[in-house]
Structure 1
Amino acid sequence: MPCRLRPNLLLSLAALIFAGPLLGQSLPDRSEQAIVDHVRTQQAPAVALLEQVVNINSGTMNFAGVRAVSDVFQPHFAALGFQTHWVDGTPFGRAGHLVAERKGKGKSKKPHVLLIGHLDTVFEPDSPFQRFERVDENIVRGPGTADMKGGVVVALAALSSLKHAGVLDRLDLTVVLHGDEEDSGAPLAAARATLIDAAKAADIAIGLENADDNTKTAVTARRSSGRWQIKASGKTAHSSQVFSEEVGAGAIYELARILNSFYTELRGEELLTFNPGLVIGSTQVEYLPEPLQGKASGKDNIVAPVAVASGDLRAITPEQISRTQEKMRAIVAAHLPQTSAEITFDEGYPPMAPTKGNERLLGIYDQVSRDLGFGPVTAVDPRRAGAADVSFAADHVEMSIDGLGLKGGDSHTPTEFADLRTLQIQAQRLAVLLYRLGKK
């Protein structure tokens, strides 16, 4: 199946490519011009590096593969003066994380920037989608091309250009590359402890995801991603006795009441969604939350004694999550006759709430893009921005932004692709952004 760029991305790229910078536009700041010029020399080695890491399977549960991708990236960070170490993932049941740190030189206080990415993909060794493939001069297909080995390659091209221009020492830098972004380890607090600790020491967090794959947008807000489970119970009896005073409504009606009340009473709040992904009920029920599955057996003429539902909850602020959970608990507690139910909430990805700091960082990035001739960058609608690791850092830094990685499309599918034309765009933008942050 051929890869096809979405119309908005095609139009964006057409406008950017003929806007000037790729044809030699000059910048008034000599350091910025040196940075941009060096980024242009990085296209071939960057694509070669992308091919190398894409051809290493790093499905989340392929621990050896995740570590092998880390082993490829590690010397590139070391060559730029980063101190690197591997965080063992055994305590949270995953491969682990690569951390790279570099202190700027001089006694003055420098902005501390945290770059966030990941090494793993959704494609395990049994997937038929394994190899880097050139579709044409600009489009490459492969697992992790856009999501998000390409983002790490963009960061290395940008950092290399800063070092070449002699300005990398103006920043303190930490890079955290997770080995379990696509399937987080448990407990989640342990799996994200390294990132949270790094964020507490940083001023600014930048995510290297591909986000909505649009070169004209960046992410300043992401919704949370959490799960909930409901277990309803009722009295079992012959179906002819349902609704009687002794038997009541049964578990399935109780669960149906709860889900319908969620829909009628909670639906409509801006950026709040709650979706039941599995519903099951009968005389006998087997429910497994991981991987999510269920099995039921019974008869139509028996009032079901048990029913289970599992779903997700997405919100834009911690306050919205807390308020919604309380409303859900209250709905669950209003039982039908002779029934009971309880709801539990699992830990999940927190939201990246919109803040003035994030808006300010987007403004700086937008100006960088305009000055480079790539046009304006606006904030993507949070409904189009799924949960990501930057959310764990956002509450601990002054400013955060995401979506600065390589662009493409069809992430998490066997047609995932990256557009190599965006490598120059994204690397130049990131490099000049970092340079300007270091000047402030």
Structure 2
Amino acid sequence: MTSLSSSETATLERAADAPMLAQVERWAAINSGTGNLAGLKTVAGQLADAFAALPGEVRLVTPDPVESVDAGGKIKTTQRGDHLHLRVRPEAPVQLLLTGHMDTVFPADHPFQTLQWLEPGVLNGPGTADMKAGIAVILAALTALEASPLARRVGYNVMINSDEETGSHASAALIAELAKGKTAALTYEPALPDGGLAGARPGSGNFSVIVHGLSAHAGRNPEDGRNALIAAADLALRLNALKSPDLKVNPAKIDGGGPNNVVPDTAILRVNLRPSTPEAMAAAEAALRDAVAAVSREHEVHCHIHGNFNRPPKPLDAAATRLFELVRDCGAVLGLPPIRWKATGGVCDGNNIAACGVPVVDTMGPRGGAIHSSDEFLIVDSLAERAQLSALTMMRIAERGTV
């Protein structure tokens, strides 16, 4: 269908008329850095109230515990905030998953806390684009859809997690559970400033390799020690050498060491691996373990690997391509500039959804930019634009019964 029906036109008008800017300003004024549990609780409460306007059940889901390695090499458990989940019409023939995140990268003590207008229509503030605006678009599109004659054909789950910015470790199981059996999924990371979409994405794994050596006096008997810092540095170089067109490697930090006159007995290497394909991911994991074994043997140290590939690669298969093409075609019907997509090096919850075999477009949010910095901005006119794009995409899926 290349034109709009009267019911579609009415639905799109409702989507555009939603009070999205006021919601963004209210939600972005509350610091909700991933570690700010008090701020996340406040935002989660406000979101629960807002999404309660939709039919179905709204609940706050307890996060899974998250383990990490501290600077001393000890395993610690970190608490995350509750996630929001809404389920509507689970018996409907078409089932969709819409996801977003309430957390930002800005902790409670970060200087970037307030909103300001950079120019008319361009709002600067923490989480404005990434992604309080995306959450407002989800609510606007679904509220409009509920007044459509097609609403009864569509059931949906909405999941707004509290830890996307740190890898969704506390929500990965919830995402996988909700993705089961879905016709398609939409995730509301911000679109590019020109309206473009992220297509294929690499996977991502964050690893901490704990190296246990043996301390000794640096002057009297250094040969009796086993320098964990040197072993960690050697491992960093070996892993860095694994870089290829299908694998990005970033040795990011080494914790450890101590007084100059003591051979260090503990070090922790932090490294990020980004494989472009499932095959590259398997090869990277094997190469990591081989490098650790070689360093352990040659330096006579003991190493322990902590971490995993929490974001699998997201290639564009046939079903995902059809969904992208549907979004593109809906944009054309709405008179938007041509919507294109391209591969990107970033990762998000779209990776996790795609790994469940569900086609997903994960940049359905408004246009914006400079995310993860104090220059972050939202292009306000794109709120209505993207709410209409989402609403029309969902209606067209409902009509087809598939992507």
Q: TM-score, normalised by structure 1?
A: 0.78
Question: Aligned letter for 1:77?
Answer: F
In structure 1, stretches of 5+ residues that fail to align are: 1-25, 286-295
1:120 is paired with a residue whose SS is: coil
1:166 aligns with 2:149: yes
Pair 1:119–1:257, CA change in 2 (3 A): closer
The equivalent of 1:276 in structure 2 is 251
The equivalent of 2:388 in structure 1 is 428
Between the two proteins, the alignment pairs up a number of residues equal to 385
Pair 1:249–1:379, CA change in 2 (3 A): same
Question: Aligned letter for 1:229?
Answer: V
Task: Tell which deviates more after alignment, 331-340 or 70-79.
Answer: 331-340
Shift of 1:117: 0.6
* Corresponding residue to 1:360 among 322, 328, 342: 322
RMSD (Å) for aligned C-alpha atoms: 2.9
Shift of 1:405: 0.7
Matched residues in 1 for 2:231 and 2:175: separation?
A: 41
The equivalent of 1:262 in structure 2 is 239
> Per-residue CA shift, 1:167-217, capped at 9, x if unaligned?
3222111000112222467xx3x5332222111142322111115554122
* Corresponding residue to 1:373 among 328, 335, 348: 335
Matched residues in 2 for 1:183 and 1:256: separation?
A: 25
The equivalent of 1:103 in structure 2 is 89
The equivalent of 2:75 in structure 1 is none
Question: Aligned letter for 2:343?
Answer: D
Note the 1:3-402 alignment, pairs <5 A.
27-42=3-18, 45-89=19-63, 93-103=79-89, 110-183=93-166, 188=169, 191-210=171-190, 212-231=192-211, 233=213, 236=216, 251-264=228-241, 266-270=242-246, 272-279=247-254, 285=257, 296-299=258-261, 307-335=267-295, 339-354=300-315, 355-383=317-345, 385=346, 387-402=347-362
1:436 is paired with a residue whose SS is: helix
- CA contact 2:179–2:358 (8 Å) conserved in 1: no
In structure 2, stretches of 5+ residues that fail to align are: 67-78
Pair 1:249–1:95, CA change in 2 (3 A): closer
- CA contact 1:218–1:362 (8 Å) conserved in 2: no
1:423 is paired with a residue whose SS is: helix
Q: TM-score, normalised by structure 2?
A: 0.84
2:130 is paired with a residue whose SS is: coil
Pair 1:337–1:381, CA change in 2 (3 A): closer
Pair 1:337–1:66, CA change in 2 (3 A): closer
Pair 1:393–1:338, CA change in 2 (3 A): closer
Matched residues in 1 for 2:200 and 2:11: separation?
A: 25
- Identity among equivalent pairs (%): 28
Matched residues in 2 for 1:202 and 1:314: separation?
A: 27
Pair 1:338–1:348, CA change in 2 (3 A): closer
Could you say which structure has the larger radius of gyration? 1
- CA contact 1:116–1:175 (8 Å) conserved in 2: yes
> Per-residue CA shift, 1:335-370, capped at 9, x if unaligned?
575633535140352224212221121111111112
